[in-house]
Amino acid sequence: MGKSIIIIGAGMGGMAAGIYGQMNGFQTRIFEMHSLPGGQCASWKRNGYTFDACIHHLMGCAPTTKIHRLWKEMGAMPRELAYTKECVSVVSPEGKIFYDYYDLDLLAEHLRDLAPQDAKLIHQYLEGIKSFTKQDLLGELTSGKARDILRVSPTLLKTFKWFRLTMADFAKQFSDPFLQRAFPLLEYSMPSMPFAVHLSKHAYGYIKDIAWPIGASSQFARSIAKRYEDLGGKIHYRQKVTKVLTKNGKAVGVKLAGGGEEYGDTVISNADGRKTLLDLLEGQFLNARLKEYCSAPPDETNWAVHVFLGVARDLSKEPSSLVMLLEKTVTIAGHETRSLEMQLYGFDKTMAPQGKGVIKVELVSRYSYWKELARDRARYEAEKQKVAEQVIELLENYFHGIKNQVEVVDVPTLLTWERFMGGTHGFANFPNKKINIISSLSSTSGMTVPGLDNFYFVGAWATSAGALFANAVSGKKVIQHICKQNGQKFTTT
Ligand SMILES: Cc1cc2nc3c(=O)[nH]c(=O)nc-3n(C[C@H](O)[C@H](O)[C@H](O)COP(=O)(O)OP(=O)(O)OC[C@H]3O[C@@H](n4cnc5c(N)ncnc54)[C@H](O)[C@@H]3O)c2cc1C
C-alpha cells in the first residue's frame, strides 16, 4: 500500500488515524466539513458561558492506564484536570441526596447511613466496584495485544456475573425505596445498562482515571489537532467530502463539495457510516448486514435534546452530576419522564463568568419528533423554548430562585448534531449494531467495506462505541493494520 492517506473528518478516529499515520511516515490530509476539530467532542461559547455537549467522564487520566498512554501519544495529556468527588448523585423530591462517591470508604459510610437495612447489598456493590479495580480491563480490551487480553481474563471471569445484571436488576434488590429508585439511573439514566458498565466506570473513577479536562471538550480536541499539525499533518476545514472516488474495487480519492478532487493511496472515513456507504460510496459496496444497519429506523429514543443554561448563581458547592427525581411524571419533548439528568460545572471556573455557573440538562426524546417539528421553523423554535421553560420550572424545586437567574439558554436537538456533524438521525455514526466487545478486540473488524480495497472506517461506526478513547483507538488500529500490510514496523513516536 502506498504512502498517502486521505481522511474524511477530524473526529477522534480521524485525528488518531492522522497522528499515527504521520508517526509512521505516511502523508496524511484530513478534510473536515466543520470549521473546528473534534466532531462530537464539542463545546462552544455563549455570552461568556461555555456549553459542553460531550464529555461527562473522560477516561485515561491516570498515568498507569493504557488509555492514558494513548492520550499522551495523541497530545491530549498531560493537561489540567478536575477530579469530581462523585460519579453521579441523585436527589429525591423531598431533598434527600445520594452521592455515588468514587472514594469507597466515603461511599460505604454514606450508603449505610442512607439505608442501614441494605448493608448486605451495599457490601456487594462495593465489592463489585473493587473487583474491577484489579486490572486495566477497558484499556487492555480496546488497545491491548492478544497477550494483554489473556492477562486480564482472570478479572473478566471474576466480573462476568455483573455483566448479566442490568442497573434495574440490581436496584430492585434494595429495600430502601429511595435507593430502589435512584440506582437504576446511576448510569446515564439508563436502567437497562449492564451493571458491569457502571461498576467498571466507578472503579476507574476510584483509581483517578476519570476526570474532567479543564476548558471543556473543544479544548481537548484542539490539543489533539495541534499534535497532528505538529507532526506535519494538515486539516482542511470547511471541506465537505461528497464522494469517495473508486477505481477497479479500490478507493483512490475523494470529491469535495466545491467540485475539486483529491487523490491518495488510502481513504479513511471518520464520517457517519450510513452516509459514507449510501451517499459517498453511492450504495455500491453493501452486503446484507450493512444494508440492515443502514436501513435501521430513526426512531430510537436518545438524548435528543440538551438544555444549556448560563445562570447567575454559584454552582461550585453543587454536585458535578445530578439526577433529579420528580414527584410525578411529566411529558417533555414528547417523552414521559420521572427524572431529570444534568451536569453542573461548578468544578471548572473557566466555564462561566466569576460567581456564575452552567447547567446542562439532557433529555430523552425521538429524532422523528424534532424532524416533524422542523418542517415548520416557528413550531420547532417554539417547542425548544417550551422545553427550556419546563426544565427551568422543574429545576426550581431544587435550585430555589433559579428562574430569575437564567441569563443564557441554548437548546440543541439531534437536528443540530446532524447539521454540524453530518450524522444520520443526529449523533454521528451510531450504527445500531449491538455494543460489540469482539469488534474492539479484532484489529479491523467493522472497519472495512466488502468489495472495496484501500478503504477503512474509523470512529463510532467502526467500533459501535460511544466513547472518545475507543474511537481514537480505532484510528490507531487502522494505521497498525496498514503498517502490517506494508511489512513496516508500527511506531508511536
Ligand atoms: C451527548 C454526548 C455525550 C458524550 N459523552 C461522552 C463522555 O462523557 N465520554 C466519552 O468518552 N465519550 C462521550 N461521548 C462519545 C464521543 O463523543 C463520541 O463517541 C466520539 O466523539 C465520536 O468520535 P468519532 O471518531 O466517531 O468521530 P465524530 O465525532 O463523529 O466526528 C466525525 C467528524 O467527521 C466530520 N464529517 C462528517 N461527514 C463529513 C464529510 N462528508 N466531509 C467532511 N467531514 C465530515 C464531522 O464534521 C466530524 O468532525 C458522548 C457523545 C455524545 C453525543
Same domain, 191 and 223: no
Residue 299, pLDDT score:
59
Tell the burial category of 474 from Cβ atoms under 10 Å away from its Cβ (0-12, 13-18, 19+): buried
Residue-number span of the structural domain to which 288 is assigned: 4-41+217-297+424-485
Residue 49 belongs to some domain of the structure: no
Query: Could you tell me how many residues make up the chain?
Result: 493
Q: Is 459 in the pocket of ligand 1 (CB under 6 A)?
A: yes
Residue 71, pLDDT score:
98
Same domain, 328 and 400: yes
**Among candidate residues 421, 436, 462, the one where a domain is terminated:** 421
Same domain, 478 and 397: no
What is the full per-residue pLDDT of the chain (493 aa) written as tens digits?
Answer: 669 999 999 999 999 999 999 999 999 999 999 999 999 999 999 999 999 999 999 999 999 999 999 999 999 999 999 999 999 999 999 999 999 999 999 999 999 999 999 999 999 999 999 999 999 998 988 877 788 888 888 888 889 999 999 999 999 999 999 999 999 999 999 999 999 999 999 999 999 999 999 999 999 999 999 999 999 999 999 999 999 999 999 999 999 999 999 999 999 999 998 899 999 999 999 988 888 888 877 657 788 899 999 999 999 999 999 999 999 999 999 999 999 999 999 999 999 999 999 999 999 999 889 999 999 999 999 999 999 999 999 999 999 999 999 999 999 999 999 899 888 887 644 554 443 433 444 456 668 899 999 999 999 888 877 899 999 999 999 999 999 999 999 999 8
In three-state secondary structure terms, 98 is strand
**Among candidate residues 189, 207, 225, the one where a domain is terminated:** 207
Nearest atom of ligand 1 to the alpha carbon of 276: 41
Same domain, 416 and 315: yes
Residue 314 belongs to some domain of the structure: yes
- Centre of ligand 1 to C-alpha 272, Å, is 9
Same domain, 236 and 380: no
Residue 439, pLDDT score:
45
CA dihedral (467, 470, 474, 480) in degrees, to 10, reads: 160
The beta strands (E) that lie in 248-300 are given as 250-256, 261-263, 266-269
**Residue 127 corresponds to which cell in the numbers above?**
465489592
**Residue 418 corresponds to which cell in the numbers above?**
446532524
Secondary structure element (H or E) that encloses residue 66, with its range:
helix 66-73
Q: Is 37 in the pocket of ligand 1 (CB under 6 A)?
A: no
Tally the domains of the chain: 3
Residue 431, pLDDT score:
52
Going by DSSP bridges, is the β-strand pair 210-213/266-269 parallel, antiparallel, or unpaired?
A: unpaired
Q: Is 363 in the pocket of ligand 1 (CB under 6 A)?
A: no
- Centre of ligand 1 to C-alpha 172, Å, is 34
DSSP 301-359: EEEEEEEEEEESS--TTS-SEEEEEEEEEEEETTEEEEEEEEEE-TT-GGGSSTT-EEE
Cell 484489579 appears where? Answer: 134
Contact 113, 178 (CB under 8 A): no
Residue 63 belongs to some domain of the structure: no
- Atom 32, ligand 1: residue with shortest CA distance: 11
Phi and psi torsions of 487, nearest 5°: 70, 30
**Among candidate residues 177, 207, 237, the one where a domain is terminated:** 207
> Which of 225, 209, 202, 275 shows the shortest CA–CA distance to 422?
275
Indicate the pTM of the whole model: 0.95
Residue 303, pLDDT score:
83
C-beta atoms surrounding 120 within 10 Å: 8
Cell 495523541 appears where? Answer: 74
Nearest atom of ligand 1 to the alpha carbon of 40: 29
CATH number at residue 407: 3.90.660
**Residue 52 corresponds to which cell in the numbers above?**
459542553
Same domain, 414 and 334: yes
- In sequence order, what are the beta bridge partners of 211? 58
Residue 302, pLDDT score:
80
- Centre of ligand 1 to C-alpha 404, Å, is 35
Q: Is 53 in the pocket of ligand 1 (CB under 6 A)?
A: yes
- Centre of ligand 1 to C-alpha 179, Å, is 34
In angstroms, the first-to-last Cα distance of the chain is 21
- Atom 51, ligand 1: residue with shortest CA distance: 54
Residue 85 belongs to some domain of the structure: no
CATH number at residue 247: 3.50.50.60
Same domain, 450 and 353: no
Residue 136 belongs to some domain of the structure: yes
Same domain, 312 and 387: yes
Same domain, 259 and 185: no
Q: 423 vs 259, 369, 381, 444, CA distance in Å?
A: 22, 17, 21, 22
Residue 151, pLDDT score:
87
**Residue 352 corresponds to which cell in the numbers above?**
462561566
Same domain, 284 and 318: no
Q: Is 131 in the pocket of ligand 1 (CB under 6 A)?
A: no
Residue 150, pLDDT score:
87
Looking only at Cα atoms, what is the longest distance across the chain? Answer: 69
> Which of 272, 275, 269, 233 shows the shortest CA–CA distance to 254?
269
Same domain, 248 and 310: no
Residue 424, pLDDT score:
83
Question: How far is C-alpha 361 from the chain's CA centre?
Answer: 16
Secondary structure element (H or E) that encloses residue 441, with its range:
helix 437-441
Residue 116 belongs to some domain of the structure: yes
Residue 457 belongs to some domain of the structure: yes
Residue 291 belongs to some domain of the structure: yes
d(CA 411, CA 416): 9
d(CA 61, CA 212): 9
- In sequence order, what are the beta bridge partners of 330? 337
Q: Produce one character per residue of 151-187: b if its CB has 16 or more CB atoms within 10 Å, e if not.
A: ebeebbeebeebeebbbbebbeebebebbbbbbbbbb
- Centre of ligand 1 to C-alpha 235, Å, is 16
Same domain, 293 and 429: yes
